[in-house]
Chain A
Amino acid sequence: MSFAHLLEVDDIHTHLAVKDGTVRAVDGVSFTIDAGETLGIVGESGSGKSMTALSIMRLLPRSGSIVEGKVTFKGRVLTDLSEDEMEAMRGTEIAMIFQDPMTSLNPVYRIGWQVGEPLRIHRHVDTRKSIVAAVDLLRKAGIPDAPRRVGQFPHMFSGGMRQRAMIAMGLSTSPSLLIADEPTTALDVTIQAQILDLLRTLNRDYGTATILITHNLGVVAGMCDRVIVMYAGRVVEQGRTEDVFARPEHPYTWSLLRSIPRLDADEHEPLKPIDGSPPDMVRLPAGCKFTPRCPFAIGRCAKEEPELLAVRNQLSRCWVTQGGVTLDGAGVG
Chain B
Amino acid sequence: MTAYVLRRLLLMLPVAFLVTVGVFMLIHLSPGDPALIILGEDRSPQAIAQIHQELGLDKPLYVQYGIWLGHIVHGDWGRSITTHQPVAVAITERLPATIELGLTALLWSLLVAIPLGTIAAVRRGSVADSVATGITVAGVSIPNFFIGIVLIFVLSVTLRLFPFGGYVPFLTDPLESLRHVALPAIALGTAGAAINMRFTRSSMIEVLNHDYIRTARAKGASWRRVVFVHALKNALIPVVTIVGLQIGGIIEGAVVTETVFTWPGVGRLAVESIFNRDYTVVQGIVLLAAFSYMVANLLVDLAYAWLDPRISYA
Contact of A89 among B214, B220, B225, B307 (CB under 8 A): B220
| CB contact under 8 A between A107 and B310, given known A59-B217, A100-B211 | yes
Chain B residues with Cβ below 8 Å from A121 are 219-221, 225
Binary contact readout A101-144 vs B (1 if CB under 8 angstroms, 0 otherwise)? 00111111100000001100110000000000000000000000
Are A122 and B220 in contact (CB-based, < 8 A)? yes
Q: Which listed residue, B216, B221, B309, touches A107 by the CB 8 Å rule?
A: B309
- Alpha-carbon distance between A88 and B233 when the two chains are bound, in angstroms: 24
Contacts of A166 in B (CB 8 A): 215
Chain B residue nearest to A179 in the complex (CB): B218
Asked if A103 contacts B219 (CB within 8 A), the reply is no
Chain B CB within 8 A of A96 CB = yes
Q: How far is the CA of A96 from the CA of B216 in the complex (A)?
A: 10
Chain B residues in 8 Å Cβ range of A59: 214, 217-218
Quick check: B308 and A105 within 8 Å, CB to CB? no
A96-B215 Cα distance, complex, nearest whole Å: 8
On whether the beta carbons of B212 and A107 are closer than 8 Å, the reply is yes
**Cβ contact within 8 Å between A103 and B220:** no
Q: Are A117 and B221 in contact (CB under 8 A)?
A: yes
State whether the Cβ of A55 lies closer than 8 Å to any Cβ in chain B: no
Instruction: Give the chain B neighbours of A96 by CB distance below 8 A.
Output: 218
Our pick among A91, A98, A122, A155 for the contact of B211 (Cβ within 8 Å) is A98
A79 to B214, CA, bound (A): 19
Q: Is residue A92 within 8 Å, beta carbon to beta carbon, of the partner chain?
A: yes
Interface string of B221-243 (1 = CB under 8 A from A): 11001000010011000000000
Instruction: For the complex, give the distance between the alpha carbons of A57 and B222 in Å.
Output: 14
Judge whether A95 is part of the interface by a CB distance below 8 angstroms.
Answer: yes
How far, in Å, is B219 (CB) from chain A's closest CB?
A: 4
B230 partner residues in chain A, CB cutoff 8 A: 106, 109
8 Å CB interface, A32-80 against B: 57, 59
For the complex, what is the distance from the CA of A15 to the CA of B234, rounded to whole Å?
31
A200 within 8 A of B: no
CA of A90 to CA of B222, assembled, Å: 10
Q: Is the CB of A90 within 8 A of B220?
A: yes
B219, B234, B307: the one contacting A91 at CB < 8 Å is B219
Q: Does A223 contact B (CB under 8 A)?
A: no
Instruction: With CB as the reference atom, state the residue of chain B lying closest to A89.
Output: B220
Residues of A within 8 A of B74 (CB): none
Number of A-B contacts (CB under 8 A): 70
Decide if A95 touches B216 in the complex (CB within 8 Å): no
| Shortest distance between the CB of B239 and any CB in chain A (Å) | 14
Residues of A218-258 contacting chain B, CB below 8 A: none
A296 touches B (CB below 8 Å): no
Q: Which of B214, B220, B307, B309 contacts A88 (CB 8 A)?
A: B220
B84 within 8 A of A: no
- Chain B residues with Cβ under 8 A from A169's Cβ? 215, 219
Cα–Cα distance between A105 and B216 once the two chains are bound (Å): 9
Residue numbers in B under 8 Å from A98 (CB-CB): 211, 214-215, 218
**Quick one: closest A residue to B124, CB to CB?**
A62
Residues of A within 8 A of B215 (CB): 98, 104-106, 166, 169
Return chain B residues, CB-CB under 8 Å to A95.
Answer: 218-219
Instruction: Please name all residues of chain A whose beta carbon is closer than 8 Å to the beta carbon of B221 when the two chains form the complex.
Output: 87, 91, 117, 121
Q: How far is the CA of A59 from the CA of B53 in the complex (A)?
A: 79
- B218 and A108 contacting across the interface, CB-CB below 8 Å: no
Q: Check A90 against B212 for contact (C-beta < 8 Å).
A: no
Q: Chain A CB within 10 Å — which of B210, B220, B234, B308 has the most?
A: B220
Known: A106-B234, A107-B310. A90 touches B211 (CB 8 A): no
Complex-state Cα separation, A59 to B223, whole angstroms: 12
Sample of 6 further A-B pairs with CB below 8 A, known A108-B308, A109-B233, A117-B219: A87-B220, A89-B220, A100-B211, A104-B215, A121-B220, A169-B215
Residue numbers of A with Cβ under 8 A of B are 57, 59, 84, 87-92, 95-96, 98, 100, 103-109, 117-118, 121-122, 153, 155, 166, 169
